[in-house]
Structure 1
Amino acid sequence: MQSKPYSVVDGAQLEANSAMLEAASARRRAKSHGAKLLQEPMPGLRESIPAKGICDQAIDGYLRTFESMFRILHVPSFMREYDGYWTQAEPAQTEFLMKLTMVLTIGAIFLTDRSMANDIKKTARNWVYAVQWWLIGPTERDAMSIDGVQVFCLLLLARQTSALGGTASIITEALSKLSFTIGLHIDPRFHTTATPFESELRRRLWLTVLELTTINSLNSTLPLLLSAGDYQVPPPSNIADSKLGKTNDSVTPQEQRTKHEELDCSLQIMLAKSLRLRMQIVRELNDASRESSYEKVIALSNSLQTHCRELAAYFQPDKTEGQNAPMTRGFHEKFLDTYFRRLILFLHRPFAHQARHDARYLPSRKICLDSSLIMASHTEAMDLPHTALDDFSSCCISGSGLFKGALGQDVILGVSLEIVTQLEEEGLSDPRHVSTRTDPLVLLAQSYRKPLVQYLRHVREQWKQVILLAGRIEAMEARHDVKTTMLETIRRVLRECTAFLRESPAYGSGGDVACEWMDDTSPEAIDAIYFGFDFNALASPSPSDF
């Protein structure tokens, strides 16, 4: 059989290619037309951005707090785009707008002008919905990039720092899958087309993904699916962002800087040293199929306490360097110390409950109390509404889970449990107790409890979870009827809350009241507290109920 001339075959091939391209173009246009109405869930996104002065303050708040711990952005690149956005040299890319809105959401909690912060928070909920739509909605293909991972990470931080409600588990799972899709879990050396800039950014982002995934697993109690040991990605280099440019042919660590000088990745590298241990602890805590042995808990706790000491040493200035020593960064030190000690508290809490009946576990009871008090000490200066808040206190008021810090239920319940246990051991829970109030042993016990009760009274002025617990403790110490005292406490607090709501700007406006002190308590939990709550059961609980 005689073959066709080459020119005929070549012409047919060209026609086939042309037809394929035409069909692909028609397909893309049809899909684009079908999703046209779904592309922009918030059409006024650009118009919702606040004035530049407010944005400057919010961005500064984010950069001085979370960016150093969780490296997400290349700051010079972000700021160049930010400056271009205001000069309107060129239209802002959607990816940049997504980053900007999330940075503003996070940074707004640190604004000193609370009215500005509340205005941003009202808009932030719509920003979050728009970002989620862009990430996992019809436009998810546009987010399959380094930019998409950055937006995902910022979204997770925004949801938890602003307590915007809902669960971050779906977002975390989507972030993990996207990280695998673009190969963040692979050593950048094997990405032959990656520039030194992109390789460094990949290493930073992979660590951040692991950190945020671990924190979300801890907050949600869901299994931690990622493991740092399964992927051999080297840590980032300790270089400043200003030394890392997109056009650089190579990246060289700035070796002339001392180890005590804070570089842009120094804190992230410090955290990476304990990452595997923390992931192991979270995995152990969330494993419902088996109980951890006490020996293993002690070993994990001791290892983490070693990292706590290393962390404290990291934030101490080197006295031998005089004026060149770095300043202690209060926010980071308090946040990370709270994070580590919260893990220690969770490890020992099951055994602390058993210490009432088994003396072998008394060390766990003491460790839980010590951890709770250390975390509580980070908000001692908080005195609403009379004093200006530092960054950590602002985070505690606005955040949820780990980001609630010393105002979280874990710390409050840890201190309350110790007080209630002591009172029960002394027999003060029984009004028929006949010990004299001048008994030296009773006075000694009261003096020991005094700092604990003072903490609860201090937090009571700042937070609502402690109200019933503090009321019960006061009733037990005064040998009053617990049920009557707690009902009176609830009546008084409800009247105070009603007065507060009526004074708020949102009262009568028909909109949502932006109450920064509200946590992510579910409606079911509120119903249980105020409607049909079993006060008889609450009047005589045991520590195991906590």
Structure 2
Amino acid sequence: MPACGRCTKAGQASNCLYLEDSAEVPIREESTIPPASHKLPPLYGHSTRPIAATVPSGDLLSRLEYQDGRIKQLEAALAKAGGAPVVKAHIPLTPESLAGGGAVDVAAPVQDRETTLLRGRSFKTQFHGNTHPGALIARIPELQGFTRETFEQYPALARIKEDMCTLERRREHSGSTRNPVDDEALRAMLPAKAEADVLVELYLENYGSLYNVIHQPSFRSEYAEMWNEGVSNARPFFVALVLTTLAAAQCLTPDPPQLYNGNSSMPREKAINWVPSVEDWLAVQSQKHVAAIDFQLRVVLLIAKNAVARKYKRTWTDCGNVLRFCMAAGLHRTPDLIRKPTSVLDKELRKRVWAAVTELELQAAFDRGMVSTPWSLQSDVPGPIHIHDDDLDQETQHLPALRKANDFTPTSYLCLASESYHLRSTLNTYLNNIRQSVSFDESKRFTDEIEYHIQNIPEWSTAPTSSIVARAMLEINLRQYILVLHDRQIRTAETKAERDFSRTILVETATKMVQTHQDLISKGYFALELLCHDQLRAGISLCHISASNPRADDALSRAIDETASRLVPQCCEMLTDKVIRFGREQRQLWILLVANAYMKAKKDPERKAVWMQEAVDRITRPFYKIMACQAEGPVESSAAVREEDRQQSVQASQQQQQRRSEVERKDVDDSMEYYPGGGNEGADVSITGDVNPTPNFGDLDDFAAWTFEDWAFDPADLAAMNVAGQFGANGNVVGW
């Protein structure tokens, strides 16, 4: 029969079906349906065109009608063939179904309960979903016992609360209490011009090439005017914006900090004094007459808080609040709908602010293990236009010509990231859906589409060196989904070939991500080291798949072991540098160190004590510097418990001394490289046999997080999985 007019206009004449007769129409050959890997669905990203041109309504309706007809065909064929009761087909959540309002069956059973992290009691709880890096810990059941045993053998690790209180009391009494902030107080916080100039350039080179919400020519002009005509004449909003950019760049200097105030480095201490002051000042400002800088300031505040580890647990909720603030102002709708005169620059800044906020909110949701805000159902805003800031200003009447794809601009990141936003958002929803399992075919399809976007990142041959930050962020933002996707697929794989495929993808992806970070650090760019958490994710993934097959009885397993032994120490070094720059975040480092020790102990059980000792040594390295390099003098551990701990530690040290070779002993001595003098003086007796300072794990809210007491499998879930045959008696995945 001829195609209907709607399908013909939409260019879908070959897919036209008459649904009333669908049960009698022969099923089409699969070859007539183009595979997803050949053509990306139209809703996978923003584009610079109006949304009506991106997703024609006829195309969407015809696709839905075709899917409906296809289901009816299969149901009729199944009923005719076997007479079995027809079960409602399960359609996986895809970008098309998400855009078309596809619903998830809330009555479906929970498929992935074991990776849900709901810690705490009563109402004092914290929840993290499947894409949170800590979810990997729940998949290593033996890690909790290994960590508990480490704490029992090394008493120095058990005095964390007392030393943390010592550091916190010193910080509380150091005059860091905030007072109400007014315009003059903001101006008084500005540092000297020479210091501010360096930090502003650091911000623009790093975060300015990612989230370019500031029109840089206008910013530089007003910045120079502020210093030339006096800070007292500067706009308070602009002063707040400058302070926030300085805070975001405080920890990006090439040289690590030398002094600490409590458990915070001095550069970070400056930043966490500026950021809450700006927040307090912003909270009392009127929202009746807002301008572009109101939105720019809120975006840069989100970046600054992430860049200095300020209230990290609130990142997801903070990003959601800013997203809703922007939606209330209509930034999610196309600026062409504004009836009153609006400059070309303001329209473009609206799109940039919206793109940056949605990127930050999606990443925060992914890191937390939550579903991102479903704003796309109500949005028609196109992505930012690929033009340079120098090409437009407030007097520009018409949009300038677009730059070529291989011409780098500070907006290149937002333009390219918006093209893959809907793919990443759909994957985040898919991976955090506790009622939906991961199939091998879907994993391959999503992997192909992610690789498609990675391959489409242009080569910026004539770009400034800072362009490598944007390229690295584009790659990492896509590859992190591959890690989580195939980690889940491994646990549901039906054959060894499927598991080996996902293991190979995991190793390749982790290798590329770590190499990307190493390239940035070697060139002096530390923005992504501080902003991202994929070093921890990649390291734990490698430890997990390596420890799952301790015998390494095939070529792939041996390759995985070799890669893990090479890359995991590199991840540990990056996290150690992060601790040194912040003065905190020891939890991430400890998680990876103990996972690395567990992996080595599975391979070589005879040297289990040595690997435990190595993990303790490495967690105390940055601690020695933090404790000894306090701005007001070094902090000593509690003397009341020192002698008892000393006796216990001596016994533990004597038992392990005979197991340690000269090479291992040298590595332990090298752990004192951060301590003044570089020797063993003042070191922990459990490490070197001398006195006994205590590591600072002050960024934790409870002790259980370090021993993973709330991170393990629920016993009922573990028993159910054992019955299902997913795990063997030793907790390993069957077939690994």
- In structure 2, give the amino acid aligned to 1:107: A
Instruction: Say which SS state the counterpart of residue 50 (structure 1) adopts.
Output: coil
- Whether 1:368 and 2:546 are equivalent positions in the alignment is no
Cα distance between partner residues in 2 of 1:346 and 1:150: 32
Deviation at 1:208, TM superposition (A): 1.6
- Structure 1 unaligned blocks of 5 or more: 1-36, 318-323, 383-387, 427-440
Name the residue aligned to 1:222: 370
- For residues 105-145 of structure 1, give each alpha carbon's deviation from its aligned partner in whole angstroms, at most 9, with x where no partner exists: 2222322344499543212112221233244x343526844
Cα distance between partner residues in 1 of 2:499 and 2:701: 36
Comparing 472-481 with 163-172, greater Cα deviation is found at 472-481
Name the residue aligned to 1:19: none
Instruction: Say which SS state the counterpart of residue 167 (structure 1) adopts.
Output: helix
- In structure 2, give the amino acid aligned to 1:315: E
Name the residue aligned to 1:260: 406
Q: Is the CA contact 2:546–2:561 (under 8 Å) kept in the aligned structure 1?
A: yes
What are the within-5 Å matches in structure 2 for residues 429-448 of structure 1?
A: 446=558
- In structure 1, give the amino acid aligned to 2:385: S
Cα distance between partner residues in 1 of 2:410 and 2:519: 29
Higher relative contact order (CA 8 A, sep 6+): 2
- Compare the two structures and name the one with the higher helix fraction: 1
Root-mean-square deviation (CA, aligned residues, Å) is 3.7
Q: Is the CA contact 1:105–1:158 (under 8 Å) kept in the aligned structure 2?
A: yes
Structure-2 change in CA distance of 1:519 and 1:391 (3 Å) = farther
Which of residues 558, 561, 564 is equivalent to 1:452? 564
Deviation at 1:79, TM superposition (A): 1.5
Cα distance between partner residues in 2 of 1:349 and 1:50: 47
- Whether 1:315 and 2:459 are equivalent positions in the alignment is yes
Name the residue aligned to 2:480: 342
- Whether 1:499 and 2:624 are equivalent positions in the alignment is yes
Which of residues 527, 533, 538 is equivalent to 1:395? 527
Which of residues 689, 695, 700 is equivalent to 1:522? 700
Deviation at 1:152, TM superposition (A): 1.3
Cα distance between partner residues in 1 of 2:611 and 2:183: 46
Instruction: Say which SS state the counterpart of residue 168 (structure 1) adopts.
Output: helix
Cα distance between partner residues in 2 of 1:159 and 1:519: 20
Which of residues 231, 235, 245 is equivalent to 2:379? 231
- For residues 399-422 of structure 1, give each alpha carbon's deviation from its aligned partner in whole angstroms, at most 9, with x where no partner exists: 3xxx2443xx21111111122123
Name the residue aligned to 2:550: 423
Name the residue aligned to 1:329: 467
Instruction: Say which SS state the counterpart of residue 163 (structure 1) adopts.
Output: coil
Name the residue aligned to 2:221: 80
Structure-2 change in CA distance of 1:247 and 1:222 (3 Å) = same
Cα distance between partner residues in 1 of 2:629 and 2:557: 42
- For residues 460-506 of structure 1, give each alpha carbon's deviation from its aligned partner in whole angstroms, at most 9, with x where no partner exists: 44433332223233334334153x33443344345534532333234
Q: TM-score, normalised to structure 2's length? A: 0.56
Name the residue aligned to 1:95: 237
Instruction: Say which SS state the counterpart of residue 314 (structure 2) adopts.
Output: coil
Deviation at 1:42, TM superposition (A): 9.2
Deviation at 1:396, TM superposition (A): 4.5
Q: Is the CA contact 2:248–2:271 (under 8 Å) kept in the aligned structure 1?
A: no
- In structure 2, give the amino acid aligned to 1:522: L
- In structure 1, give the amino acid aligned to 2:432: N
Which of residues 278, 287, 298 is equivalent to 2:424? 278
- Whether 1:470 and 2:603 are equivalent positions in the alignment is no
- In structure 2, give the amino acid aligned to 1:200: E
Name the residue aligned to 1:411: 538
Q: Is the CA contact 1:58–1:107 (under 8 Å) kept in the aligned structure 2?
A: yes
Q: Is the CA contact 1:345–1:372 (under 8 Å) kept in the aligned structure 2?
A: yes
Q: Is the CA contact 2:483–2:510 (under 8 Å) kept in the aligned structure 1?
A: yes
- For residues 39-86 of structure 1, give each alpha carbon's deviation from its aligned partner in whole angstroms, at most 9, with x where no partner exists: 627973322222212211111112122223222101112112211221
Name the residue aligned to 2:302: 156
- In structure 1, give the amino acid aligned to 2:369: T
- In structure 1, give the amino acid aligned to 2:247: T
Cα distance between partner residues in 1 of 2:290 and 2:617: 53
Q: TM-score, normalised to structure 1's length? A: 0.74
Instruction: Say which SS state the counterpart of residue 306 (structure 1) adopts.
Output: helix
The number of equivalent residue pairs is 463
Cα distance between partner residues in 1 of 2:386 and 2:621: 51
Structure-2 change in CA distance of 1:348 and 1:178 (3 Å) = same
- For residues 225-274 of structure 1, give each alpha carbon's deviation from its aligned partner in whole angstroms, at most 9, with x where no partner exists: 133353111233322212211123x133235x544222343332222211
Name the residue aligned to 2:329: 182
Deviation at 1:217, TM superposition (A): 1.1
Cα distance between partner residues in 1 of 2:569 and 2:200: 35
Deviation at 1:285, TM superposition (A): 2.2
What are the within-5 Å matches in structure 2 for residues 376-387 of structure 1?
A: 376-380=514-518
Structure-2 change in CA distance of 1:198 and 1:447 (3 Å) = closer
- In structure 2, give the amino acid aligned to 1:374: K
Q: Is the CA contact 2:490–2:498 (under 8 Å) kept in the aligned structure 1?
A: no
Name the residue aligned to 1:11: none
- In structure 2, give the amino acid aligned to 1:398: L
Q: Is the CA contact 1:355–1:365 (under 8 Å) kept in the aligned structure 2?
A: no
